Amino acid sequence: MQAAILAPGTAAEAVASEAALAEIAMPDAGEMILPSRTLEPLERLDIYRGMYTARLREALEVDYPALAGFFGEKTFAELTALYLRHCPSRSYTLNRLGDGLPEFVQGVENLPRRGFVCELARVELAMTQVVDETETPVLEVETIAKVPGEAWPSARLQPVAALRLLALRYPVNAYLNAIWDGGPVPKLLRKNTWLAISRRNYVLIRTDMRRPAFETLSALAAGKTLGEAIGNRRISEKNIFAWFRDWAGAGVFQSVAL
């Protein structure tokens, strides 16, 4: 029955599919499923097939609303059906059903705007991860202020769990802001952008960054000291203070080790 639910095509084709016949030899669904007074066995089976498709597509749409909006209902349904055939759920939870979608879309043939779409999927996946991450304490501005100036070069700042840093080849965040705020959608031309996604007080925060700040924060998140993270970059003290003010405001760090 499971194979007949998962197989593409009509219910009759699904029941006769290789996978279904491997499960149980059932060329005639009537041998296994009783008719009701209103429905034939295949029609009854089709109820489950329809619910499976709808339920899992809906779960993916919840995780990838912008991607779904970009493609439209029909194309997104085709894309998710293809994805589910390649990556059927093996988990008790639907929460992480879409984890493989960004990688999957890279390999889909004839995908319109492939470059942008892949980046959009990466960002939406990162957002779901940040939403579900464990809540960790946030390093407060007052604690940062107490760190002696001479200690900073060797300081290691541990990021909160709910942080993802993405270097992108398209202006995905500007696109998301536009579609959610109802503003003009930017041209989807290739342009390097850098994005931090974090969470504070259970609210998701997406922050566009400049490259030096992004690279410094990425190095800190990877466990380097502040001195190592800055390296040979020529960054003014004013800029560094501004970055830390923004990062602290977004609740990016949970602790500092001196």
One residue of 12, 25, 47, 242 binding another protein per CB under 8 A: 47
Query: Whose Cβ is closer to another protein: residue 58's or residue 78's?
Result: 58
Query: Whose Cβ is closer to another protein: residue 161's or residue 219's?
Result: 161
Nearest to 84 by CA among 92, 16, 76: 76
Handedness of CA 19, 55, 172, 184 (dihedral sign): positive
Say what angle helices 41-63 and 73-86 make with each other, to 10 degrees.
100
Q: Footprint of another protein on residues 26-45 (CB under 8 A)?
A: 30-34, 36-39, 41, 43-45
Kindly indicate which of the ranges 63-71, 84-92, 151-159, 221-229 contains the residues binding another protein, using the contact rule CB under 8 A.
Answer: 84-92
Examine residue 111 and tell whether it contacts another protein (CB under 8 A). no
Examine residue 90 and tell whether it contacts another protein (CB under 8 A). yes
Nearest to 174 by CA among 143, 129, 207, 217: 207
Residue 157 token pair: 């700042």
Do the Cβ atoms of 214 and 194 come closer than 8 Å? yes
One residue of 161, 205, 235, 256 binding another protein per CB under 8 A: 161
Q: Which amino acid is at 85?
A: R
Q: What does the alpha-carbon distance between residue 158 and residue 163 come to, in Å, rounded to a whole number? A: 11
CB of 96 to another protein, least distance (A): 7
Beta bridge partners of 209: 194
Using CB under 8 A, count the residues that bind another protein. Answer: 42
Residues lying near another protein in the complex (CB under 8 A) are found at 1-2, 5-6, 30-34, 36-39, 41, 43-45, 47-48, 51-52, 55-56, 59, 88-96, 131-135, 161-162, 199, 202
